[in-house]
Amino acid sequence: MIDTHSHILPELDDGSKSVDESINMLKVLKEQGITHVIATPHFKMTDSKTSIDDFLVKREESYQKLIKEIEKQGLDLPKISLGAEVLLTMDLIEANDINRLCIENTDIMLIELPYYEWQSWIFRMLYNLCDDNFIEPIIAHVDRYVDFISGDIYEQLFSLGYKAQVNAEFVDKKAAYKKLKKWLKSGQICYVGSDAHGFDFRPPTFDNYFKKIKKIAGDSFIKNVEEHSAKLIKKLEK
């Protein structure tokens, strides 16, 4: 099983605060049945001068610091692949080489939508970004928007045909399941992530997910997630 959304890299964003915390998070994820983790630190294009190069350099430095300590201790932990949680903004459309923010060895990008009610221009911008750059998006944590996004707006999003990810903690949110039930069953929601940031804030919760998911979403959802996880792992290991 792959964790498609995590803030596991140390001292990079609002996630792990240290190498030790990252290692302990990975240990917990392994105990919870995770074999692969995609590190998806936040990326926000604040203006046309924001440097993707700088972000990638900092990401690599953080990753190498973590990997060196894992190797030093001889630890058997989930395999880490690099990606980003990319916030959809107007400035992002103007960026060059945006594909470098895709998950390594893929054309797949984890895209976070704004935290306000989505207007039609959001969907046009999302479509143009992905179509112009040949990006296959995964819409991040669609369960976290349910408090301010209506069912009709979700319909518009999923009508684009894109895949989506839920956080493992959604199994404890009745409102999220109720609003997203249609797309859980249709197969468009097919990735699961911990969105883990640490132990004090949003810890890994795959253990609870595995306990509750069958009752909540059924065998077809479980199978769909497993199949997409296997396909993604195969791409990552090229």
Structural domain spans, the chain? 2-236
Beta bridge partners of 87: 112
Helices (H), 103-205: 120-133, 151-158, 174-186
Q: What is the pLDDT of residues 98-154, one digit of tens each?
A: 999 999 989 999 999 998 889 888 999 999 999 999 999 999 999 999 988 999 999
CATH number of 2-236: 3.20.20.140
**pLDDT band at 238; cut points 50, 70, 90:** confident
Q: What is the pLDDT of residues 182-228, one digit of tens each?
A: 999 999 999 999 999 988 888 888 999 999 999 999 999 999 999 99
Q: What is the pLDDT of residues 40-89, one digit of tens each?
A: 999 998 765 668 999 999 999 999 999 999 999 999 999 999 999 999 99
pLDDT confidence of residue 180 = 94
Task: Give, in degrees to the nearest 5, the angle at Cα 166 between 93 and 128.
Answer: 20
Nearest-angstrom CA–CA distance, 64 and 12: 12
Contact 205, 169 (CB under 8 A): yes
pLDDT confidence of residue 116 = 86
Helices (H), the chain: 19-31, 52-73, 90-93, 120-133, 151-158, 174-186, 206-236
Task: Name residue, tokens 């990252």.
Answer: 22
Task: Name residue, tokens 């997203």.
Answer: 180
Q: Which two tokens stand for residue 39?
A: 């590190």
Q: What is the pTM of this model?
A: 0.95
pLDDT confidence of residue 47 = 61
